[in-house]
Amino acid sequence: MSALLEGKTALVMGVANRWSIATSIARALHEHGARLALTYEGERTKDEVEKLAGELGGGLALHCDVASDESLANLRAVLESEYKQINTLVHSIAFARREELAGKYYATGRDGFRIALDISAFSLVALSRELQPIIKPGGSVMTMTYLGSVRAVQSYNVMGVAKAALEASVRYLAVDLGEQGIRVNGISAGPIKTASARAVSGFTNILAEVALRAPLRRNVSANDVGNVSVFLSSDLSSAITGQVIYVDAGYSIVGI
């Protein structure tokens, strides 16, 4: 175990199952010495998250509904009581209805649009507002995004718009929280086989295209993302904020 993050406490949000990107991030942070707290959204994922928390040092597994201001306030109260302060917030949360991730973007429903933006983008804003008083100066906030924020990716639809809003939020939050010495960054990962990714129509074709055209001629793994999250959580990235870091085997630089 590395001591790069020894003495630091990280809150990782978005663990759904053992294939989740958030799961790999949590494991990587733990391997480098961080103390962890994890959250789950509902009873469906509670057991999985509690099991992971037990495996990774026995940290807290807390319920949190990011669409509820009351739930966010409760989360802060528990974290403050248990840890007083945290060093890292990992936001790996996104949601869009399955029917919004196929067909034409213009077919997106008003309610589906609202839900996708609320859960996938505004939740970072709400969490940052609620938790910033207990994030230590020099701390790190990071979120997960995707190339569909800046390019039209088939079937990504409203999630691409939500990720664009998320990336803009990273920049504005970096300005706001920079006054307290808190850094805010995004990780734009290449396509990874997760349960949520399988909801995107044609996802297998996207994986094949990236492996064919990316400069490194491969897809990325959740472990690759975990490694970058360790860097962003550590003091090695103390001068980096407001950025989107691409972890995609170079695919984002390739033209026609």
Token digits of residue 37: 């707290």
Q: How far apart are CA 58 and CA 237, in angstroms?
A: 27
Question: Which residue is catalytic, options 40, 105, 106, 146?
Answer: 146
Question: CB–CB of 125/169 below 8 Å?
Answer: yes
136 φ/ψ angles, rounded to the nearest 5 degrees: -65, 145
Name the token pair of 150.
């800046």
Q: What string of DSSP letters covers 168-207?
A: HHHHHHHHHHHTTT-EEEEEEEPP---TTGGGSTTHHHHH
Assess whether 146 carries a catalytic annotation.
yes
Whether the CB-CB separation of 153 and 105 falls below 8 Å is answered with no
Residue 64, both tokens: 């949190």
Please say if 246 is a catalytic residue.
Answer: no
Single out the catalytic residue among 40, 156, 246, 251.
156
- Residues marked as catalytic: 146, 156
